[in-house]
Structure formats: structure tokens, C-alpha cells
Chain A
Amino acid sequence: MNGAQHILDAFHRHNISTVFGYPGGCIMPLYDALVDDVGVEHVLCRHEQACALAADGYARASGKLGVCIATSGPGATNLITGVANAHRDSIPMLVITGQVPSGLIGTDAFQETDVLGMTLGIVKHSYLVDDADSLPAIMEEAMELAQSGRPGPVWIDIPKDLLLADVSDTPFPRSEPREVSSPDLTEALTMLRAARKPILYSGGGISLAHAEDRFRTFAESASLPAVVTLKGIGNPGKHNPYNLGMLGMHGSRAANKAVDECDLLLVIGARLDDRATGKLDGFAPNAKMIHIDADAAEINKLRPTELAIRGDLNGILEALTNALQDKPLDIGDWQKQCRTWYTTGGFHAADNEEPLAPITGPAFVRQLSRIAPDNTVIACDVGQHQMWVAQHYDFDHPRHHLTSGGLGTMGYGLPAAIGAQFADRKSTVINVTGDGSFMMNAQELATIRRYNLPVKLIVMDNQCLGMVRQQQELFYGNRESQINLDDNPDFVAMARAFDIPALHINRTDQIRRGIETILAYNGPMLLHVAISREDNVWPIVKPGASNREMIDETRRTNKKEHVA
């Protein structure tokens, strides 16, 4: 067995059935081995960045390891944004790149780049294989590392000659399942019981730990008012009456208010990102904190915590649930207060029902949320549309919401949707994108067509880089700079050029039919939604300001004109 065959063999043993990649010179031995392989489906995207982002979407939607493959040099550098994206959101990913033959490393050979050096800051770990016999152990270790503890991308760079070299069949070390010690929760329970105004604050760590069910049971049975980060959306479930929604820069008034007033923050699987906390000085000023996380380095990183518990979230949540079931928390007044805030400051403003009015982002997303079937996966891009989805779509599970949180990668949504569709060929997958983001990986329409993926594409077209325009308007004296996209291509014609049918809507009374049409269509379809250039995401906290200083809609005085 040569190195390339060994890699495929390792995929088989680990039930890796789908990989995303793009061939080229130094990785050709692996592509040659693929010819004879039946167990692994290789998905050819049209850009390596999309391979990495699709692997990320696949991992997020399925909870499994995402795998992407590229050649040396430009193949590897093209992967970088996607790998950085996975790194910032702790997504389990295995990256495999070909490298120039061992003897040529350091000679400025054709398509040589120092991949190991260049990627140090965006990987959980990385290897440059220097001996074919070390490959089996490296493959095992890499797959284990990518998925254990705090997950993340692990990159293996393999010189071409080692892909071709014989790999001895040395037995590789099998990792023993680690024992999970159950941490002492006495102090946490004492703090919870002493609190009058506790808040449950959860993030992406819940699904990373595969603790979605346990979290939900805990949140429901404890009846703790709950806020979520962008990546924690869906954690409490959409029917949880104490779910206050997302906090932070574009969070709900209710969520930010509750955090501002609370006397205890129970933070689970979240890292207190600046987009969530706002200015740290003003964040939850009256609260003690209990921080539960898998990553010790997150404890005390940004805010000193009164109590830290590091460990497996599943075990901890189960123990907390049991303890509180025996003796529930006595926080009735606080629950009522939070409910009141939610009624007045949650994301459920009345839709603009004026049938001939132009479409607004929030009104569109709310209808989408009502019409799309349960278990629909929404893969967002980055910008205003991403925030409207986070605010106005009722997610019932964190794996239904794929969003680029830490890196904020425009161009994420389309490849992520492709990955999610490969994770479950039967699920409804919708990419909600903006006209700017869509053009960052629009070549992937070809991938959708090639594999006949029934991905639905919704382009919310405001003819500009809306999120940037909004901040220029509010924080830079309305001096617009390089945000105009009014010369966009005709997106409907563009989709059709890829043999994907498309539909255009621009009036509120067309929303329902538009959404129903693309959902009913048996195959991929694009919905082009024209929205106003001037619409903003509300509320907003100025970057660097405290979450207490939320700015609400201020300039909505001029009456909307009707569109014909």
C-alpha cells in the first residue's frame, strides 16, 4: 500500500465517506488512488476555498469530521480562508495537501509554498510528513485531535514522493476512550440557588460537544432565562418560553437588558466574544459568573470568573439537570420580568403587511421561518442578511443554523450549503446570501448543478455591501466608500446560465409565493429578492461601545414609496 492508498484506507476505517477537494500536481497520487476507490465520494468544488468551506458546512450540519484536499502552492493557499474559518469556529476538519517532493523542499520548486509555516496560526495542529512510515500514526492522531477537546482543523502536508512510497503496515496506536471525571458541582449549585436573577448564556460549544439534547433538557427544566451567542442560536429550542434570543451587537433589547441586570451569568460553551459582550467594562456589571467550557484557555481570558468548571459538557449538564429537578430554582419574579422584556424587546415586531410595499429583510426572514419545513438548514453568508436571519428566524436546533461566526467570511454560505446537503441529501438546505457575499463563491453554482443538489439560494439584493454601508452611515457621517454594487450582474440570468432556474421578487405580497415556489421545486432554485438599499439592521451597538448603548431605528421617517 502506498501513502495515498493508506490515506483512503484510513478514511474507510473512520467511516469518512465524503471529502471535498481539487486536484493538482503534487496531490495527483491521491487522485490516482481515488480512481479505484468506491468507498469515498470525492466532491469536486470549483475553488479550493469552497472545498474547505463545504467541508466546514458538512461538519457543522452532521457533527462529523469535515475533510478537504488540495494540491501544493496555490491549492493550499486557496484553502486558507476556509481553514481559518473552521479554526475560529472550532470546527472539526482534516486538511490534506500535497507538497513538492521531499528533496525539493526549500529549493523554490514549482508550486512550493511553506504551508506548514504559513498556516501555524489557523490550525489546531499540523504536520509535514517526512517519512512514509510515520503516515499511519499521523493520520490517526490528526483525526482524533481534530475532533477531541475543543475541536479544530488539523492540517497534514505530504510531499508527493511520500504519497507514492510504500507505507509499512505498522499497527498504529489506537487511542483509548478517555475517562470523563465528573466535576464537583456543589459550588455551582450553591451560586445558582443564591442568585435572584440568573441568566443562562450559551454558545457554539454546546453543539461542538454534541450536548444539544442535554442542554435543551437542562434549559427547559431549569426554566432559566436564556440568551445565546450567534453560534448558540437554536440551543434553547424555539418553544422555550425563557429564550430571550441573541445578545450583543445586533442582539435583542431583551437579551442585552437581561444580561445587564442579571446577578449571575451561567456561561456554557461560550468564549465571551466582543461581538457578544460589547465593551467588557460595561458587560453584566452586577453579575458573578460561572464559566463551563471544554477549553481551559477560555477561563478568565477576557473576564475573571468566580467559578470555572472545565470538562465534558454532557456530564455536567446532566448532573445540573438532575440536581435542579430535585429542587427547582425559585426565580419566579425574574422569569416574569424577562418575559416582559421579551414581549417588548424581542424580535417579533409586526410584519410590514402593506402588500405593495418593498420587501424588508426582517419581514422576508420571518415569512421564511414560518414557511420552511422543520429541520431546514439555513446556511448564511455575512452581512445584514446574516443578522436578519440570526434575529428573525426561529431556529429549533443549533445545527440548523450555519453561520461564519468568528471569522465572518463572506462567501461562506453557498459552499457551506453544499456541504450540509452532502451531510443529508434529503434535508432542505437554504443558502441565504447577499449580493456581495454571493459573488465571492458564485462559481459553486456549478457544483450544485453537477451533483444535482436541491440547495435553495436566496439572494437578498440591496445593490450594495449593506453592512458596511450601514456602519458608514451611522459611524462615519454617512460618507459612503466603495460599497456600491448597483452594477451587479442579472442574478436570475446568471443562475440560468448554470442551468439553475430562478425567480425575482420585489414586493411584500410576493414573498410567500416566492418562497413556496423555490421550496416546492424538485431541484436547486434561486430566489432573487430585491430589497431597499437603505435598510439597516436594528438595534445596533457601536463597535467598542457597551451593550447598554443600543441604538434603535432612528431615520425611518420618509414614507416608503410603492414599487410597481
Chain B
Amino acid sequence: MKPQSQPSTPNYKISCRMSQEAAALERLCQVIRIRGFRIATMAVESAGEHLDITLTLEGTRPIAMLQSQLEKLHTVAEVALGQVSGVRVQTA
């Protein structure tokens, strides 16, 4: 159990638009994992040629680093950092 005094892991809301392809979600999740984040919630919506994915992530590394790695994926069109209700979004 975490001691009360320890600050909780920062969390972030992030939304991502990808083109539809066989491995789209695996690609996304793999980068999130390897770059040090945990997926707390994930919602996926198919919109024509695109997939819109909204995630809440937890992790101690700078979220901007994850954002730039996700933007490198060829099938990712856009990554936006959003607000998690009540929590200020932290950027590096």
C-alpha cells in the first residue's frame, strides 16, 4: 500500500486520431507502455477512415516526451493533451 504522504502518480488525458489499420491500437498501446505510462481508461471510436482514441494515462515521465513519440507513428494524425477533470494537466 502506498503511504499517504507519497504524491500520487500524475495522470493525463490524451486524445489521438489514427488512421484505420490492422495494428493501430497495438501500435499505440505499445508506445505508451514502452515509454513509461499506464493506461487507466481508454475509449475508442471509429470515425470513417479514422479512429479516435481517448485515454487517461498515469506515469511519472514527461508527457510531452510521449506525445512526440506518438506523433512519430506513421498512422497517427494528431495527438492532443487534454484536461483531466479536477487535475491540472502537467507538461514537461
Taking A121-B30, A128-B22 as contacts, is the C-beta distance between A300 and B74 under 8 angstroms? no
Return A157 CB to nearest CB of chain B, in Å: 10
17 contacts between A and B (CB under 8 A): A116-B22, A116-B23, A117-B23, A120-B23, A130-B22, A145-B74, A295-B72, A296-B68, A296-B72, A297-B65, A297-B68, A297-B69, A297-B71, A300-B64, A300-B65, A300-B92, A301-B65
> What does the 1/0 interface line of B61-92 toward A look like (CB < 8 Å)?
01011001101111100000000000000001
Question: By CB atoms of chain A within 10 A, which of B22, B34, B64, B69 has the most?
Answer: B22
Contact check, B27 vs A120: say whether CB atoms are below 8 A apart.
yes
* Chain B minimum-CB-distance residue to A295: B72
| B73 surroundings in chain A (CB, below 8 A) | 125
Chain B contact residue count (CB 8 A cutoff):
18
Chain A minimum-CB-distance residue to B75: A125
For the complex, give the distance between the alpha carbons of A126 and B23 in Å.
9
Asked if B26 CB lies within 8 Å of chain A CBs, one says: yes
Residues of A with C-beta under 8 A to B75: 125
Please give 4 more A-B residue pairs, beta carbons under 8 A apart, in addition to A296-B72, A297-B65, A300-B65: A117-B23, A120-B23, A125-B75, A300-B62
Which A residues from 113 to 144 make CB contacts under 8 A with B? 116-117, 120-121, 124-128, 130
Whether B92 pairs with A296 at a CB distance below 8 angstroms is no
Which residue of the partner chain B has the closest CB to A125?
A: B74
A120 partner, pick from B26, B64, B71, beta carbons under 8 A: B26
How many Å lie between the Cα of A150 and that of B68 in the bound state? 14
Contacts of A296 in B (CB 8 A): 68, 71-72
The 9 A-B residue pairs with the shortest CB-CB distance in the complex, in nearest-first order = A297-B68, A125-B74, A120-B30, A297-B69, A128-B22, A116-B23, A296-B68, A297-B72, A120-B27
Measured between alpha carbons, how far is A533 from B65 in the docked complex, in Å? 44
Residue of B nearest to A130 (CB): B22
Contacts of A127 in B (CB 8 A): 21
- Measured in the bound complex, the distance between the Cα atoms of B30 and A126 in whole Å is 14
Q: How many residues on chain A are close to B (CB under 8 Å)? A: 18
Give Cα A297 to B23, complex, Å: 22
What are the residues of chain B within 8 A of A301 when measuring CB–CB? Answer: 65
Which of A124, A128, A299, A300 touches B23 (beta carbons < 8 Å)? A128
Tell me which residues across on chain B come within 8 A of A124, comparing CB atoms.
Answer: 74
Flag A224-268 by CB within 8 Å of B: 1 or 0 each: 000000000000000000000000000000000000000000000
| Smallest beta-carbon distance B75→chain A, Å | 8
Smallest distance from the beta carbon of A104 to chain B beta carbons, Å? 16
Which residues of chain B in 1-58 are interfacial with respect to chain A, using CB atoms and an 8 Å cutoff? 21-23, 26-27, 30, 34
The residue of chain A having its C-beta at the shortest distance from the C-beta of B92 within the complex is A300
Q: Mark A300-311, 1 if CB is under 8 A from B, else 0.
A: 110000000000
Chain A: minimal CB distance from B60 (Å): 15
Complex Cα spacing A117 to B22, Å: 10
| Chain A residues within an 8 Å CB radius of B69 | 297
A116 to B75, CA, bound (A): 15
Chain A contacts for B23, CB-based, 8 A: 116-117, 120, 126, 128
User: What are the interface flags for A142-158 relative to B under an 8 Å C-beta threshold, 1 for contact and 0 otherwise?
Assistant: 00010000100000000
Instruction: Report the minimum CB–CB distance from B68 to chain A (whole Å).
Output: 4
In the assembled complex, which residues on chain B have CB atoms less than 8 Å from the CB atom of A120? 23, 26-27, 30
A125: chain B residues at CB < 8 Å are 73-75
In the complex, the chain A residue whose C-beta lies closest to that of B74 is: A125
**Chain B hits for A295, CB < 8 A:** 72
Residues of B close to A126: CB separation below 8 A: 23
Report the nearest B residue to A141, measured CB to CB.
B74
CB distance from A315 to the nearest CB of B (A): 21
Which residues from chain B contact A128 at a C-beta distance below 8 Å? Answer: 22-23
Measured CA separation A301–B65 after assembly (Å): 6
Pairwise interchain contact B34-A121, C-beta atoms closer than 8 A? yes
Closest-by-CB residue of A relative to B68 is A297
Contacts of A299 in B (CB 8 A): 68
Distance of A16 from chain B, by nearest CB (Å): 21
Instruction: Give the chain A neighbours of B64 by CB distance below 8 A.
Output: 300
Q: Which residues of chain A come closer than 8 Å to B71, judged between CB atoms?
A: 296-297
**Chain A residues near B72 (CB, 8 Å)?**
150, 295-297
